[in-house]
Amino acid sequence: MTMLFTGRIRPLSPSADDLVEALLVDGDGRIVAVGATDDLLALDPSAERVALDGWVMPGLIEPHGHPGTAAVLLSDRVLDLRPVVVPDAEGVMSALRTVIAASAGAPVYANGWDALLQRGLPDPDMRLLDGLAGSTPLVIVHNSGHSAYFNAAAAVAAGLDRSTPDPAGASFGRTADGELNGVALEAGAVERVAAPLLQAAQADIVELLGAHFADLSRRGITTISDLSWNPALNPAVDALRAAGRMPLRLRWYEMSRPGGSPAAHPAGVPGAEDHVIRQVGVKTWTDGSPWIGNIATSFPYLDTTATRGLGLEPGHRGASNYSADELHEIAQPYAAAGWQLACHAHGDLAIDETLDVYERLIVTHGLTDHRFRLEHVGAMRRDQFERASSLGVTVSLFVDHITYWGEVLVDDLFGPERGGAWADAGAAFAAGHRATFHNDGWVTPAEPLRNMAVAETRRTRSGRVMPAGSPVSRAQALAAHTANAARQLFSEHEIGSLTPGLFADLIVLDRDPLTVSPEDLAEAVVREVHLGGRRVS
């Protein structure tokens, strides 16, 4: 049945006026026409009319998420210690003691430890966690997701001991005599420590994913990507679709691995494209997290109380997870098979290394519309944005770092020049990028509208404006979570604006996203969410 949606509609499309009255949507959920109500009714007088109360814009797209893992880490199976929930060290330690006391010896998993925001936290080594939990397995995932801390009982539960080798691109901390010290660094090691939790969650994964997808939908997200998706979760998505409980679209990236054998790319295969869920590319990591000291930079961390608390020596510089040759060896088979590459790179040296590898692959394989990705790019410089743009490499910025860690970046870690220019979205757009923004799964709350606001103001939660870097315009901010994100995910032929031929993925806000202040945009309420013309939230 054809439907006519009416209201105050912002198509956010170059092919439509800034404000239109109506959308005509066909039975397949695609937009037939946009414009004046009477004109669209003349096209199909029998169309069912749906009045939308509020301001209408395209559905929001999260181009760098981790819903497959977040569905577990943000569930009631895991103690939520994130600074947005527990703001201080005393609260963190009290919450841990309470949950451990009530666990009756069952494993305890927590997520969100952050010594930079929860000042006064002790050093979370095995000795501390053994003292807290004794024979109860205890695992605490750092707020960045790039490290985890575990006690001796958790090591046993995960099958880890001194003979366990370090995973590629990751490591386990060890004492001077070679014993595990209770620290796991980077994805491969963190996953080993958390494996019992993730395995146990599989029995209820349909419900866990369903609840998480529903939460994302209520926030206005109509397409979510997963940059570390496990294809074993695809049957759970199929079950949600069969039950009519899939309120968004999923674009996923497999995790690359040394010696990996990529699946055949489905491009050009009739019927291979699924508008709801499909693989887009492959993800790898060049460096780690600024919050734990392992991003590869040409400049040192500051020598401050905060950095000494992280165990960083004066003049500390982080290092890459892989050498350029190792990264090339990992990425080569995926690029050769036609997959888009996405690479986590925060430090300027990591970004240079990744761009070198990308350029080598682009030249070797004669790639044109590859849209290779750089993820987070906290310390990326203007000249690096320009080089990336010239290569056709796209960028996705974690601008919400400014919201929560802005003061930390400037005062504690990198100073006003380097830290103040963190996540320089204005420089990305100035270099010609169609940049995107993201929240990175469970690290910060899924808040695309706040991302837009902070990219525009470069203002922290406490009201401080970052001393360097450049703001974006409102049009650029809106595009980052709509049309630009669709393009980065090779989905611009389906979603990203309210344009004839695309799906009617739309949200209804309580205020005008184009004209309100940045502060009001950040606080906008999502009243309705429609996916392909069907209301889902």
Domain with residue 157: its CATH number is: 3.10.310.70
Task: Compute CA distances 37 → 23, 43, 224, whole Å.
Answer: 8, 10, 31
By three-state DSSP, how is residue 241 classified? helix
Find out whether 453 and 518 touch, Cβ atoms under 8 Å: yes
Find out whether 247 and 529 touch, Cβ atoms under 8 Å: yes
Q: What is the pLDDT of residues 311-351, one digit of tens each?
A: 999 999 999 999 999 999 999 999 999 999 999 999 999 99
Beta strand 394-397 pairing with 436-437: parallel
DSSP assigned state of 30: B
Predicted local confidence at residue 168, as pLDDT: 87
Same domain, 81 and 33: no
DSSP assigned state of 410: I
Q: Which residue has the tokens 């991003």?
A: 295
Q: What is the pLDDT of residues 114-130, one digit of tens each?
A: 999 999 999 999 999 99
Q: Which two tokens stand for residue 104?
A: 């009756």
Look at residue 209 and tell me if it is in a domain: no
Beta strand 171-174 pairing with 180-185: antiparallel
- Tell me how far apart the alpha carbons of residues 328 and 165 are, in angstroms, rounded to a whole number: 23
Same domain, 127 and 37: no
Task: Compute CA distances 156 → 106, 127, 136, whole Å.
Answer: 13, 15, 11
Is the pTM above the cut of 0.85?
yes
Same domain, 47 and 5: yes
- Tell me how far apart the alpha carbons of residues 208 and 70 are, in angstroms, rounded to a whole number: 9
Q: What is the mean predicted confidence (pLDDT) over 41-53?
A: 96
| Nearest alpha-carbon partner for 378 in 350, 359, 356 | 350
Same domain, 195 and 80: yes
Q: What is the mean predicted confidence (pLDDT) over 252-276?
A: 76
Angle, helix 324-336 to helix 348-365, in steps of 10 degrees:
40
- Tell me how far apart the alpha carbons of residues 309 and 359 are, in angstroms, rounded to a whole number: 38
* Helix (H) or strand (E) segment spanning residue 51: strand 48-58
Q: What is the pLDDT of residues 50-60, one digit of tens each?
A: 999 999 999 99
Same domain, 85 and 192: yes
Q: List alpha helices for 366-473, DSSP H.
A: 382-391, 400-407, 415-418, 425-430, 448-457
Q: What is the mean predicted confidence (pLDDT) over 222-244?
A: 96
Q: Could you tell me how many residues make up the chain?
A: 537
- Tell me how far apart the alpha carbons of residues 258 and 263 are, in angstroms, rounded to a whole number: 15
Find out whether 34 and 22 touch, Cβ atoms under 8 Å: yes
Same domain, 29 and 138: no
Q: What is the pLDDT of residues 353-405, one digit of tens each?
A: 999 999 999 999 999 999 999 999 999 999 999 999 999 999 999 999 999 99
Distance of CA 83 to the CA centre of its chain: 18
Same domain, 172 and 120: yes
Other residues' Cβ atoms within 10 Å of the Cβ of residue 186: 25
Distance of CA 537 to the CA centre of its chain: 22
Q: Select from 200, 234, 259 the last residue of a domain.
A: 200
Look at residue 412 and tell me if it is in a domain: no
Same domain, 97 and 156: yes
Q: What is the pLDDT of residues 417-440, one digit of tens each?
A: 999 999 999 999 999 999 999 999
Predicted local confidence at residue 268, as pLDDT: 55
Same domain, 48 and 87: no
Residue 39 CB-half CA count within 13 A? 9
Q: What is the mean predicted confidence (pLDDT) over 498-524?
A: 98
- Tell me how far apart the alpha carbons of residues 484 and 437 are, in angstroms, rounded to a whole number: 9
Look at residue 33 and tell me if it is in a domain: yes
At position 266, the amino acid (one-letter code) is: P
Look at residue 404 and tell me if it is in a domain: no
Secondary structure of 465-508 as H, E, C letters: ECCCCCCCCHHHHHHHCCHHHHHHCCCCCCCCCCCCCCECCEEE
- Tell me how far apart the alpha carbons of residues 142 and 158 are, in angstroms, rounded to a whole number: 18
Same domain, 14 and 125: no
| Average pLDDT of every residue of the chain | 95
Residue 140 has pLDDT above 90, yes or no: yes
- Tell me how far apart the alpha carbons of residues 128 and 402 are, in angstroms, rounded to a whole number: 31
Phi, psi torsion values for 149, nearest 5 degrees: -125, 140
Q: What is the pLDDT of residues 265-292, one digit of tens each?
A: 776 554 558 999 999 999 999 999 999 9
Look at residue 240 and tell me if it is in a domain: no
**81 lies in which domain range?**
76-200
Find out whether 335 and 366 touch, Cβ atoms under 8 Å: no
Predicted local confidence at residue 15, as pLDDT: 77
Look at residue 175 and tell me if it is in a domain: yes
Look at residue 319 and tell me if it is in a domain: no
Same domain, 49 and 94: no
Predicted local confidence at residue 528, as pLDDT: 98
Look at residue 148 and tell me if it is in a domain: yes
User: Measured in Å, how far apart are the chain's first and last C-alpha atoms?
Assistant: 20
- Tell me how far apart the alpha carbons of residues 99 and 78 are, in angstroms, rounded to a whole number: 10
DSSP assigned state of 165: P
Same domain, 39 and 147: no
Q: Select from 175, 200, 225 the last residue of a domain.
A: 200
* Helix (H) or strand (E) segment spanning residue 325: helix 324-336
By three-state DSSP, how is residue 108 classified? strand
Domain count, the chain: 2
Predicted local confidence at residue 507, as pLDDT: 98
| Nearest alpha-carbon partner for 120 in 293, 309, 401, 313 | 309
Q: Going by C-beta distance under 8 Å and a sequence separation of 6 or more, which residues neighbour residue 392?
A: 362, 368, 369, 370, 371, 372
Q: Select from 168, 200, 232 the last residue of a domain.
A: 200
| Strand order, beta sheet including 108-113 | 79-80, 108-113, 138-142, 147-150, 180-185, 171-174
Predicted local confidence at residue 17, as pLDDT: 79
Q: What is the pLDDT of residues 157-207, one digit of tens each?
A: 999 999 999 998 899 999 999 999 999 998 899 999 999 999 999 999 999
Give me the CATH number covering residue 501: 2.30.40.10
* Helix (H) or strand (E) segment spanning residue 528: strand 526-531
Q: Going by C-beta distance under 8 Å and a sequence separation of 6 or more, which residues neighbour residue 313?
A: none
Burial of 333 (0-12, 13-18, 19+ CB in 10 A): middle
